[in-house]
Amino acid sequence: MKKSLLIRRFLFTSSLLISLSLPMLLDAQDKGTVKDIRDGHTYNWVKIGAQSWMTENLDFNAQGGSWACNNDSADEVNFGRLYSWKAAQTACPKGWHVPSDKEWGVLMRTLNSDPGLKMQSMDTIGKGPGKTGKAPASLSSLLSGVRHPDGSFSGLNLWGGCWTSSKVNDTVATNVLFARGAKEISVSTNDKNTGFSVRCMKVK
C-alpha cells in the first residue's frame, strides 16, 4: 500500500532549529485542566480567543484505531496516541470534540502571525499533571509524526499532524500539519486510515 501523501504546501522557516521560546501570548487568558473520567488522564487546556483548546495531544486508547507513536509506550507518554480519522471522531472526552477545518481556521486567525510556532511553544508536553516523562522545553507533542496506512511510522519530533472532523469523501479527510520550527500551520488531506494526533476543543 502506498504511503499517504503527507506534505502539501509546507511553509518552512530557513532553519528547522529555530527556538520555540516565544513568549506566552496567552498569559491573560483562561487556563485549566480537565480529567478524562474514562481513564483518569488529566489534560491542560487554554482559552484562545473564544475557543478553548487542549495544550497536549489526546492519549486515550481508542480500541480498533489508535496506536502509540512508533508503537512505543515511552513515546506515548510525551506525544499521546495516533488515531485513524474514524477513531478520532469519538475519541475526545465528554464536553470536548475534534475541531473542524473551519475551527482550526479560526484558531489560526486568532493567533495571527506565526501560528505554528505559537502552538508549539504553548505545548505542555512533559509538564502536565500525570506526566511521567521529562522532555526538553523545545519539544512539542504536535511533532508526533505519522502512522502510514501500511503500518510504518515516520517523522517523530520533526513534524506531525492533527485530524479535523472535516472529510473530503468516504476515504479522504482533512488534517492540519506542523513542522519543527515552521511558522505556519498547513492544511492537507490524507487517507482516513492514516494515524494522526488529536487536539480536542471544548464544546461551546
pLDDT by residue for the chain (204 residues), tens only, comes to 545 544 343 333 333 323 333 334 444 468 999 999 999 999 999 999 999 999 999 999 999 999 999 899 999 999 999 999 999 999 999 999 999 999 999 999 999 889 988 888 877 554 444 444 444 445 688 899 999 999 999 999 999 999 999 999 999 999 999 988 888 999 999 999 999 999 999 998
Rounded Cα gap, residues 196 and 67, in angstroms: 9
Spell out where 5-156 has E strands.
31-35, 42-48, 51-54, 66-68, 81-83, 96-97, 144-147, 153-156
The reported pLDDT for the residue numbered 122 is 77
**Which uninterrupted H or E stretch holds 201?**
strand 201-202
pLDDT at 29: 60
Angle 186-124-78 from CA coordinates, rounded to 5°: 85
Residue 139: the pLDDT is 64
Would you list the DSSP string of 120-163? HHH--TTTSTT------TT--TT-EEEE-TTS-EEEETTEEEEE
Cα dist from 144 to 35, 88, 157, whole Å: 22, 15, 6
